[in-house]
Amino acid sequence: YNAVLYFCKNTQACQSFGIPVTATPVKMNVCCMVIEKLQGTSPRLYTLIAPLVMRRSVLRLNNNYPFWTSRSHTWFVAEEGESVLGFVPVEVRDNGVVKINNYYVSGDDNRLLSRLIQEIVNDYRGDYTIQSVTHTRHIPVFLSEKFQTVKEWKLYVKMQYGEKPCGESANG
């Protein structure tokens, strides 16, 4: 169940290349970012992500924690041309929660992270509670996308989309 979504950074440039701003079945563009939604064990996912998750620099940005996936995961992968710009895996749990964890965006680009979060929220809000284990450096991005702090740790913050759950405080 792979889906490809097209978002043009420069509408005039995309149109001048004959690329409509809306979704199209053609994936040959240099001016547009594509967010591809992939199942957690998809061979295409491994092809796209492996070169990144094996890099020390990428692992360092994830506090040296490895990236993982399973059949319960759906990955939102941002691409431009042949380059992967970032990814956010989402674990769909049996308890009605989807959990964002171990994500990466090239250059810590807050606009890219925000766009990926928006796509996840559009996919899951209403049907699931959306939670995130968020790097402290990305708290402002998640706050701007209507996430609330649920629990604070040293390097991460547990956040949840929408209203703060009843009885939860910022400390736990």
Q: How many CB atoms sit inside 10 A of residue 122's CB?
A: 10
pTM, entire model: 0.78
pLDDT tens for each residue of the chain, 172 residues long: 444 444 455 555 445 444 444 433 333 333 588 999 999 999 999 999 999 999 999 999 989 999 999 999 999 999 998 899 999 999 999 999 999 999 999 999 999 999 999 999 999 999 999 999 999 999 999 999 999 999 999 999 999 998 655 555 444 4
Read off the tokens for 9.
Answer: 């950074």
Report residue 112: phi and psi, to 5°.
-65, -45
CB-based contact 110:90 (threshold 8 Å): no
Distance between CA 41 and CA 39 in Å, rounded? 6
H runs (alpha helix) in 95-155: 110-124, 139-144
Read off the tokens for 151.
Answer: 């629990």
Report residue 50: phi and psi, to 5°.
-50, -45
